[in-house]
């Protein structure tokens, strides 16, 4: 069997968690391949809601092995707190496996994230301040500390001391802060985190390949999204990893030929948190409608998300760079009350029309969206369970999106519950 990838096609918060959870039910293994606890999604199962940041969605199914891949940056304290939360609510985390090659987020990464943001002033990126960027930066500088280092006290202390030599200089001389005491950090992480995480630390690449070899179904769960990708997003207003489908290869140790299905998750409108260009951004009552009706506030940080119309130009790019095999449209029900629904089909800038994403980002800053207006359906979709029950206008809307993006829509979300998903034949 081959692997399936679930990837966000916009700026995150597309409702990936719910669809990943749904697809995860049919899988034997779910692997997170990048990001850290900057992600956050809420799953509603039998009216109970679970907020997950690091543990892969599949954890809620007893038959699924959840794996945190090497491409993830892991804050051990956050991971343990999440495992405790799940255990206290009757969800076993015994099968959770954590790649020994994943990098750790340590307290100084979080401090540096906040300091960098403050230092940038009005140019700040609007990060989640979880230490994601600094942890990946240490990885690239080759002073990162990996999960496997927790298993060897001597190595952990040595690497930490080496890493802090540089970091403490930055903290004290650039930011005028107190230095971090290597022994204090080592005592805490070796004393409390290492023994608890040790039984979960594993050869994740080996596990994934054994599962594929034995014919299992493996789901690769991306966090964030295509336009927050370090290479393909609206740089520098991006995260520090590769959420695109290719990130599953590097972040979980599989090759491109191991993937045969890539599901792109797209919300029926768009939101973004933090700074950066956003051609279809809305500042009117329709935008307020998206935010209020769908409660578009960050799961992690509580920040109000910036709302906008669906952008097919972005989706075309996402289809290309992820080689999407299908689209899942989330939150279609949020459009229920709108008389007219707009879809951006191209941009215009400096008298030129762009059907594909302009490679030069300054164009994106001054681009004006070219909209097609579609009639709304004015019917509550939250109780619809079959495609045949969809009003004609909703069908037409979905067909329009398929035609604009060139990718079939295979699933549609009409509410937060697991059952509120319409599945279309592939």
For 3, residues 6+ apart whose C-beta sits below 8 A from its C-beta are: 208, 212, 218, 219, 220, 248, 254, 258, 259, 260, 261
Given 45, 120, 125, 291, the residue binding ligand IMP (CB under 6 A): 125
For 91, residues 6+ apart whose C-beta sits below 8 A from its C-beta are: 50, 59, 60
Question: Which residues within the stretch 198-227 sit at the binding site for ligand IMP (CB under 6 A)?
Answer: 223-224
Shortest reach from residue 8's CB to ligand IMP, in Å = 8
Beta pairing class for 340-349 and 368-375: antiparallel
What is the rounded distance in angstroms from the CA atom of residue 114 to the CA atom of residue 126? Answer: 10
Nearer to ligand IMP, 8 or 413 (CB): 8
Count, residues near ligand IMP per rule CB under 6 A: 20
114 binds ligand IMP (CB under 6 A): no
Q: Count Cα atoms within 13 angstroms, Cβ side, for 330.
A: 26
CA distances in angstroms from 278 to 51, 91, 172, 282, 307, listed in the order given: 27, 39, 37, 9, 9
Nearer to ligand IMP, 189 or 227 (CB): 227
Given 13, 75, 138, 258, the residue binding ligand IMP (CB under 6 A): 13
For 18, residues 6+ apart whose C-beta sits below 8 A from its C-beta are: 41, 43, 44, 330, 413, 416, 418, 421
Identify which range of 62-70, 179-187, 198-206, 233-241 contacts ligand IMP by CB under 6 A. 233-241
Nearer to ligand IMP, 14 or 258 (CB): 14
What is the rounded distance in angstroms from the CA atom of residue 144 to the CA atom of residue 166? Answer: 12
Given 56, 69, 253, 274, the residue binding ligand IMP (CB under 6 A): 274
Nearer to ligand IMP, 253 or 274 (CB): 274
Question: Which residues within the stretch 132-151 sit at the binding site for ligand IMP (CB under 6 A)?
Answer: 132-133
Identify which range of 37-45, 139-147, 166-174, 349-357 contacts ligand IMP by CB under 6 A. 37-45
Nearer to ligand IMP, 28 or 127 (CB): 127
7 binds ligand IMP (CB under 6 A): no
Identify which range of 126-134, 166-174, 257-265, 334-342 contacts ligand IMP by CB under 6 A. 126-134
Q: Which residue is nearest to ligand IMP (CB)?
A: 274
Given 10, 70, 99, 127, the residue binding ligand IMP (CB under 6 A): 127
Identify which range of 129-137, 176-184, 343-351, 407-415 contacts ligand IMP by CB under 6 A. 129-137
Q: Write the DSSP symbol of residue 174.
A: I
- Are 35 and 224 contacting, i.e. CB atoms less than 8 angstroms apart? yes
38 binds ligand IMP (CB under 6 A): yes
- CA dihedral sign of residues 410, 423, 394, 336: negative
Identify which range of 176-184, 235-243, 363-371, 407-415 contacts ligand IMP by CB under 6 A. 235-243
Shortest reach from residue 336's CB to ligand IMP, in Å = 24
Shortest reach from residue 117's CB to ligand IMP, in Å = 9
CA distances in angstroms from 112 to 74, 149, 166, 171, listed in the order given: 16, 22, 12, 8
Nearer to ligand IMP, 55 or 223 (CB): 223
- Are 63 and 28 contacting, i.e. CB atoms less than 8 angstroms apart? yes
What is the rounded distance in angstroms from the CA atom of residue 278 to the CA atom of residue 290? Answer: 16
- Closest Cα partner for 74 from 27, 33, 30? 33
Q: Which of 41, 103, 109, 116 is catalytic?
A: 41
Q: Count Cα atoms within 13 angstroms, Cβ side, for 62.
A: 4
| Residues 303, 307, 311, 317, Cα dihedral to 10° | -10
Per-residue binding letters, 238-267, with ligand IMP (x by CB under 6 A)? -xx---------------------------
What is the rounded distance in angstroms from the CA atom of residue 381 to the CA atom of residue 377? Answer: 9
Shortest reach from residue 60's CB to ligand IMP, in Å = 19
Q: Is 41 annotated as catalytic?
A: yes
What is the rounded distance in angstroms from the CA atom of residue 108 to the CA atom of residue 348? Answer: 44
Contact footprint for ligand IMP (CB under 6 A): 12-13, 38-40, 125-128, 130, 132-133, 223-224, 228, 237, 239-240, 273-274
> Which residues are marked as active site?
13, 41
């Amino acid at each position: 069997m081959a692997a399936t990838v679930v990837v966000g096609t916009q700026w995150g918060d597309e409702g990936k968690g719910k669809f990943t959870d749904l697809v995860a039910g049919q899988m034997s293994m779910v692997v997170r391949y990048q990001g850290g606890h900057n992600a956050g999604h809420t799953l509603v199962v039998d009216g109970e809601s679970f907020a997950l940041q690091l543990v892969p969605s599949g954890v809620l199914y007893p038959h699924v092995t959840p794996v945190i891949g090497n491409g993830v940056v892991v804050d051990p304290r956050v991971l343990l707190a999440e495992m405790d939360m799940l255990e206290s609510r009757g969800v076993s985390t015994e099968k959770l496996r954590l790649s020994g090659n994943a990098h750790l987020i340590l307290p100084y990464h979080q401090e540096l994230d906040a300091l960098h943001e403050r230092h940038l002033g009005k140019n700040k990126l609007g990060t989640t301040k979880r230490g994601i960027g600094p942890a990946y930066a240490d990885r690239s500088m080759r002073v990162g500390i990996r999960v496997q280092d927790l298993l060897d006290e001597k190595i952990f202390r040595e690497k930490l001391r080496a890493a802090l030599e540089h970091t403490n200089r930055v903290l004290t001389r650039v930011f005028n802060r107190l230095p971090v005491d290597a022994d204090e950090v080592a005592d805490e992480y070796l004393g409390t985190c290492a023994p608890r995480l040790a039984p979960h630390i594993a050869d994740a690449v080996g596990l994934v390949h054994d599962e594929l070899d034995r014919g299992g179904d493996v789901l690769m769960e991306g966090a964030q999204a295509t336009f927050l990708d370090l290479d393909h997003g609206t740089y520098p207003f991006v995260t520090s990893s590769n959420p695109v489908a290719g990130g599953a290869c590097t972040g979980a140790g599989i090759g491109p030929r191991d993937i045969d299905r890539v599901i792109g998750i797209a919300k029926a409108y768009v939101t973004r948190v933090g700074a950066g260009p956003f051609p279809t951004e809305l500042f009117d009552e329709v935008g307020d409608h998206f935010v209020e009706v769908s409660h578009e506030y960050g799961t992690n940080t509580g920040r109000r998300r910036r709302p906008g119309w669906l952008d097919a130009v972005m989706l075309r790019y996402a289809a290309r760079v992820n080689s999407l095999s299908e689209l899942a449209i989330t939150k279609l029900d949020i459009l229920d009350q709108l008389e007219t629904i707009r879809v951006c089909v191209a941009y215009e800038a400096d008298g030129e029309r762009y059907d594909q994403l302009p490679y030069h980002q300054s164009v994106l800053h001054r681009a004006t969206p070219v909209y097609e207006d579609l009639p709304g359906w004015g019917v509550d979709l939250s109780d619809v369970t079959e495609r045949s029950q969809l009003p004609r206008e909703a069908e037409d809307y979905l067909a329009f999106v398929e035609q604009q993006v060139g990718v079939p829509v295979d699933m549609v979300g009409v509410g937060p519950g697991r059952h509120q998903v319409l599945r279309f034949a592939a």
